[in-house]
């Protein structure tokens, strides 16, 4: 058994490996590229490629791939062997050109019209800020994916652009505040990943799980999460073995997997890594999801990453913990006793408040998927309304700033005039409001709306961009201000006043909040079909273009691709429902009805007076339900056929929301009703109880 520190990062061409395998000069040039975003010279690239190849081959790799994140799906890779002919034999070859740039035939990846069909190829470009690693005997090179005309076809490119924007504007602000030694500000992210584990054999008996990753039918189990006995409960041996293998793999890949525990729902778990830069956190989260899916079957289980695999129990999300950190080691969202630091903290806090309010629609749409629509607003998940939690203590501080009053907080200290003094926040003083979509948790914000299967890239692109744009507004004002202190105070005061509506410290799960939010004028974009088109609103498009994150063409293509994906996902679910109903469910109900009818007939034929009350009652109910299953299935088929014929994606997605999903819900209601009164041995699938308690 090796110790963790010995094998941690052993499959990563990280700083340590670079130092070991590169000459001093090459290492220095590469570092410059990484730290200062400078262009990589081809000579350096050749040297890096050769060193990377030797390192990878030594570790058993035979292939390399440009590992990238297309706009749908998890991650994409196309493997190329290192081998090249050499005389009568072969050598292992890998050039700088191959390292920097790949040209996959990418015609099957969605481009939303960005790539003409005659020009199927896009190209991938190495992102040297994220280390290469080995997976399945393949050297994986994290890359960006673009069209030939340079438009981003992936999630990494805009993420890197948004990180640039937030760094640029933060550095400007800090300079204005006299902190000129900061050269770079990096958004840091720690994503907590929720997931379900269920038994593989049970999984395979459910076509809905196999085809769509979530259950489309299923009456509630007698026991759900009522007792809260799963949360933080002891971990079952099989799950523990899975977690141990997952941790080992993640550690080898340099992922700082740290915390693991059982979640609220039966069969639900969570894994949290230690935070790192937004870019690497995103790559690591992609890798984590991939490894979870791959390792579970080795332990006879399947990992479900769907946001709402089971109706009526907790869904799975990803809590995106976000903060801004300087290259000098300062967390800009961390309040402290030092009044000078608090000036910075309050300005950045104000920027986040304004960004979240002004671009609440962008935050909502950054997490919009068909799957997440089922989760938001349901059990144990924030609603589709974006709001911000700051906690009681910070709320008091904001109030005192707004009304220019003294603040005397729980520190019970008389505060000096002005906003620059702030009591020290004890970390555990920031009461945890689990119901808030965007909560301040001491020294970071936790965005809880991200779906469990989604990449965290989109959410962070929007948070970074929105905050960068507000910081730019602030910096523009401060730069030209005659009286800096007055201007600084005015900005903070006005921001709190103008954007106070976004702050909500109450229970976000409560019905009354929906009404209250409406009164406050906050948007409630319940579905992807409602949210996604907002991407193209002038206010949003202007901001994203001004921050250099997206072009018009990229925005249009993204909106189209995500809506198209929404339509296709729901459409596959609708077809799966029809398949299950016609192939298995109706025949099963008929079989049970025949049994009941047979029993009644037999009793009657016996010549003694026997009651057939129970058979008759169930038969009547079931017969009615069978009719309504058939009617609902026919109705679903008809709306689905009509929907499939629609060519305009905006109209089609609205029709999915208004016609197809309600038809699916009606069908489910009838089927779940029938399941409840049909004999278990006649029902064709494992039920919710079997699924949720399948891992013993
Ligand atoms: P929980 O929210 O479950 O109570 P923690 O608050 O300890 O747990 O941390 C959750 C996640 O937040 C972890 O991934 C952790 O690394 C991350 N995190 C902690 N501090 C920061 C920070 N300053 N910036 C970004 N993420 C952070
Ligand atoms: Mg958390």
- For 338, the token pair is 């030092």
Residue 624 confidence (pLDDT): 98
Ligand 1 neighbour 331 (Cβ under 6 A): yes
Residue 6 Cα to ligand 1 midpoint, Å, equals 25
Residue 415 Cα to ligand 1 midpoint, Å, equals 30
Measured CA to CA, the distance from residue 664 to residue 632 in angstroms comes to 8
Ligand 1 neighbour 460 (Cβ under 6 A): no
- DSSP structural state of residue 134: E
Q: Which residues in 606-617 are b (16+ Cβ under 10 Å) and which e?
A: eeeeeebeebee
Q: Is pLDDT of 90 > 80? A: yes
**375, 451 in Cβ contact below 8 A?**
yes
Q: Is pLDDT of 27 > 50? A: yes
**Which residues, 6 or more positions from 287, have their beta carbon under 8 angstroms from its beta carbon?**
75, 133, 135, 250, 253, 255
Closest atom of ligand 1 relative to the 273 alpha carbon: 14
Closest atom of ligand 1 relative to the 432 alpha carbon: 4
Q: Model confidence at 431, in pLDDT bands (50, 70, 90)? A: low
Residue 398 Cα to ligand 1 midpoint, Å, equals 24
Measured CA to CA, the distance from residue 313 to residue 230 in angstroms comes to 12
Residue 326 Cα to ligand 2 midpoint, Å, equals 23
Closest atom of ligand 1 relative to the 190 alpha carbon: 14
Residue 339 confidence (pLDDT): 47
Measured CA to CA, the distance from residue 561 to residue 553 in angstroms comes to 12
**198, 688 in Cβ contact below 8 A?**
no
Ligand 1 neighbour 192 (Cβ under 6 A): yes
Ligand 1 neighbour 257 (Cβ under 6 A): no
Q: Mean pLDDT across the stretch 291-302? A: 98
Measured CA to CA, the distance from residue 541 to residue 476 in angstroms comes to 20
Looking at all shown ligands, the one closest to residue 317's CA atom is: 2
Q: Is pLDDT of 452 > 50? A: yes
Closest by alpha carbon to 440, among 391, 405, 506?
391
Q: Model confidence at 104, in pLDDT bands (50, 70, 90)? A: low
Closest atom of ligand 1 relative to the 275 alpha carbon: 16
Closest atom of ligand 1 relative to the 323 alpha carbon: 24
Ligand 1 neighbour 90 (Cβ under 6 A): no
Packing angle of the helix pair 586-605, 613-644 (nearest 10 deg)? 160
- Tell me the CATH architecture of domain 566-692: Up-down Bundle (1.20)
Rounded to whole angstroms, what are the CA distances from 255 to 15, 240, 276, 323, 567?
14, 19, 10, 19, 34
Better-scored residue on pLDDT, 135 or 150: 135
- Quote the strand ranges of 400-554, DSSP E: 438-440, 445-451
Residue 321 Cα to ligand 1 midpoint, Å, equals 6
Q: Does domain 193-214+227-316 have CATH number 3.30.590.10?
A: yes
* Torsion, Cα of 592, 595, 600, 604 (10° steps): 170
The position carrying tokens 């993640």 is 250
* pLDDT tens digits, 56-77: 999 999 999 989 888 876 788 8
Closest atom of ligand 1 relative to the 441 alpha carbon: 6
Ligand 1 neighbour 111 (Cβ under 6 A): no
Least confident of 58-67, 90-99, 421-430: 421-430
Residue 462 Cα to ligand 1 midpoint, Å, equals 20
Looking at all shown ligands, the one closest to residue 192's CA atom is: 1
- The pTM assigned to this predicted structure is 0.94
Looking at all shown ligands, the one closest to residue 189's CA atom is: 1
Ligand 1 neighbour 285 (Cβ under 6 A): no
Q: Is pLDDT of 199 > 90? A: yes
Residue 294 confidence (pLDDT): 97
Measured CA to CA, the distance from residue 204 to residue 504 in angstroms comes to 43
Residue 275 Cα to ligand 1 midpoint, Å, equals 7
Nearest CA residue ID for atom 14, ligand 1? 190
Looking at all shown ligands, the one closest to residue 444's CA atom is: 1
**Which residues, 6 or more positions from 342, have their beta carbon under 8 angstroms from its beta carbon?**
335, 336, 420, 421, 422
The domain limits of the chain are: 4-154, 171-185+318-550, 193-214+227-316, 566-692
Looking at all shown ligands, the one closest to residue 436's CA atom is: 2
**349, 397 in Cβ contact below 8 A?**
no
Ligand 1 neighbour 272 (Cβ under 6 A): yes
- For 441, the token pair is 């948790």
Q: Does domain 4-154 have CATH number 3.10.20.70?
A: yes
* pLDDT tens digits, 552-590: 999 999 999 999 999 999 999 999 999 999 999 999 999
Q: Is pLDDT of 523 > 50? A: yes
Ligand 1 neighbour 273 (Cβ under 6 A): yes
């Amino acid at each position: 058994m090796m110790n963790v520190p010995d094998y941690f990062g052993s499959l990563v061409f990280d700083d340590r490996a670079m130092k070991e395998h590169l000459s001093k000069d090459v290492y220095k040039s590469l570092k410059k590229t990484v730290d200062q975003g400078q262009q990589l010279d081809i000579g350096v690239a050749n040297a890096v490629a050769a060193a990377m190849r030797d390192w990878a081959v030594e570790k058993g790799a035979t292939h390399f791939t440009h590992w990238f994140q297309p706009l749908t799906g998890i991650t994409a890779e196309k493997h190329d062997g290192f081998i090249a002919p050499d005389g009568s034999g072969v050598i292992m070859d890998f050039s700088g050109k191959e390292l920097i740039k790949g040209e996959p035939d990418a015609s099957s990846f969605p481009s939303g019209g960005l790539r003409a069909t005659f020009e199927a190829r896009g190209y991938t470009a190495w992102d040297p800020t994220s280390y290469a690693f080995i997976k399945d005997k393949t050297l994986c090179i994290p890359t960006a994916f673009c069209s030939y005309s340079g438009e981003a076809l992936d999630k990494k490119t805009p993420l890197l652009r948004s990180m640039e924007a937030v760094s640029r504007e933060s550095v400007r602000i800090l300079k204005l505040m006299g902190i000129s030694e900061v050269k770079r500000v990096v958004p840091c992210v720690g994503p907590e990943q929720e997931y379900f584990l269920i038994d593989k054999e049970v999984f395979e008996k459910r076509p809905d799980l196999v085809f769509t990753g979530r259950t489309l039918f299923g009456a509630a189990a007698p026991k759900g999460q009522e007792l809260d006995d799963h949360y933080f409960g002891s971990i079952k041996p099989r799950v523990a073995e899975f977690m141990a293998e997952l941790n080992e793999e993640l550690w080898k890949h340099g992922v700082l997997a740290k915390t693991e525990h059982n979640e609220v729902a039966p069969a639900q778990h969570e894994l949290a890594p230690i935070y790192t830069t937004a870019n690497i956190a995103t790559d690591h989260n992609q890798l984590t999801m991939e490894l979870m899916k791959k390792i579970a079957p080795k332990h006879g289980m399947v990992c479900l990453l769907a946001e709402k695999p089971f109706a009526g129990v907790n869904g799975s999300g990803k809590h995106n913990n976000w903060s801004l950190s300087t290259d000098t080691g300062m967390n800009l969202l961390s309040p402290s006793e030092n009044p000078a630091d608090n000036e910075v903290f309050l300005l950045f806090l104000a920027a986040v408040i304004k960004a979240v309010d002004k671009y609440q629609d962008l935050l909502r749409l950054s997490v919009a998927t068909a799957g997440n629509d089922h989760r938001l607003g349901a059990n144990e998940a924030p609603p589709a309304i974006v709001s911000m939690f700051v906690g009681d203590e910070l709320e008091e501080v904001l109030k005192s700033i707004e009304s220019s009053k003294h603040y005397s907080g729980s520190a019970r200290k008389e505060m000096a005039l002005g906003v620059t003094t702030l009591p020290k926040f004890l970390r555990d003083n920031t009461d945890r409001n689990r119901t808030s979509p965007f909560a301040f948790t001491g020294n970071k914000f936790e965005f809880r709306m991200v779906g469990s299967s989604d990449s965290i890239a989109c959410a962070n692109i929007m948070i970074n961009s929105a905050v960068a744009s507000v910081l730019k507004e602030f910096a523009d004002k401060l730069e030209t201000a005659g009286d800096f202190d007055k201007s600084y105070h005015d900005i903070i005061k006005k921001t709190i006043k103008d954007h106070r509506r976004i702050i909500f410290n109450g229970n976000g799960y409560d019905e009354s909040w929906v009404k209250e939010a409406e009164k406050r004028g906050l948007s409630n974009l319940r579905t992807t079909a409602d949210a996604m088109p907002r991407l193209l609103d002038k206010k949003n498009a202007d901001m994203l273009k001004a921050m250099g994150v997206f072009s018009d063409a990229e925005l249009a293509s993204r909106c189209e691709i995500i809506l198209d994906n929404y339509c296709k996902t729901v459409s596959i679910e609708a077809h799966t429902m029809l398949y299950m109903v016609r192939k298995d469910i109706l025949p099963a109900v008929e079989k049970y009805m025949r049994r009941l009818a047979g029993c009644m007939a037999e009793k009657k034929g016996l010549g003694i007076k026997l009651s057939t009350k129970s058979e008759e009652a169930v038969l009547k109910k079931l017969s009615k339900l069978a009719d309504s299953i058939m009617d609902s299935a026919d109705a679903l088929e008809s709306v689905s056929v009509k929907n499939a014929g629609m060519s305009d994606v905006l109209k089609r997605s609205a029709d999915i929301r208004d016609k197809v999903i309600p038809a699916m819900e009606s069908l489910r209601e009838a089927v779940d009703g029938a399941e409840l009164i049909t004999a278990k041995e006649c029902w064709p699938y494992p039920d919710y109880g079997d699924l949720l308690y399948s891992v013993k």
